[in-house]
Amino acid sequence: MTTKTLLLALGLTTALCNTALANDRYGDRPPVIVSPDLAAPWVMQLAGPNGRSAATVRQYRQPQNDRQQADQPRVIYREQAQPRPVRRGIFDRGQPRTQQVAMRPNAPARSRIDPQFLPQMVAYDTKEKAGTLVIDTNNRFLYLVMADGQARRYGVGVGKPGFEWAGEHKVTRKAEWPSWIPPQEMISREAAKGHYLPARMDGGPENPLGARALYLGSTLYRIHGTNAPWTIGSAVSSGCIRMRNEDVTDLYGRVDVGTKVIVM
């Protein structure tokens, strides 16, 4: 064998060994780490036909055969870290947060009258003769004086602050389901508040004078019913004495024109 032939064989042997070593060295290819930053343009190219990015896939599917495994690198997908909850302060300007607001409950409307303001017979010591009406505005009671130290007591509504009054009068007129003609003073006073009263209102259930009225002398005041019975026991009127419709109807049948009325 010539020297030339030996050198050729030696070179061929060396090349084959180097190829084998190279194949062994890169037989297990290093993994490719995919960045969780899905905004990177090169990562967007990994999106599949359904539009999902490869970085969002949680399970890697192995190649179907060894040839594919030899041709493709092994890829490990790193899941995108979940964002940590942001703790906002009271002065942060972000998305509005739903908060429970402490609401003050609405005051319950009075639908029942206090039992003390219902008609009842009571002991009443007075020098006034039977048949006299005595109105105690401080305690919100009207007394019809009876014989033997007794009186029939009714609950009433009286004048609000600034409209209190006292005096002695007589019943000068009685009316059933009276019409209401507001005094000019009341019309002007309410107009200043933005409330416009009618010049006249016929009697009926909606009329603020209620079912009956007892007119007191030449004054603008009356003892009358009301379509707001829950106001009995309160200081709410413009000076008139209010009673429940059933109570003023009862009183109406017990007193006559000329009856003495004491307001104190």
Catalytic hit among 17, 169, 195, 224: 224
Q: What is the 3-state secondary structure (H, E, C) of 24-72?
A: HHCCCCCCEEECCCCCCHHHHCCCCCCCCCHHHCCCCCCCCCHHHHHHC
Q: Token match 């409209």: residue?
A: 163
Residue 224 known to be catalytic: yes
Catalytic residue among 17, 169, 195, 240: 240
**Distance between CA atoms of residues 36 and 56, nearest Å:** 8
Judging by DSSP bridges, how do beta strands 241-242 and 222-224 pair with one another? parallel
Cα–Cα distance for residue pair 201/155, rounded to 1 Å: 26
Q: Which residues are identified as catalytic?
A: 224, 240
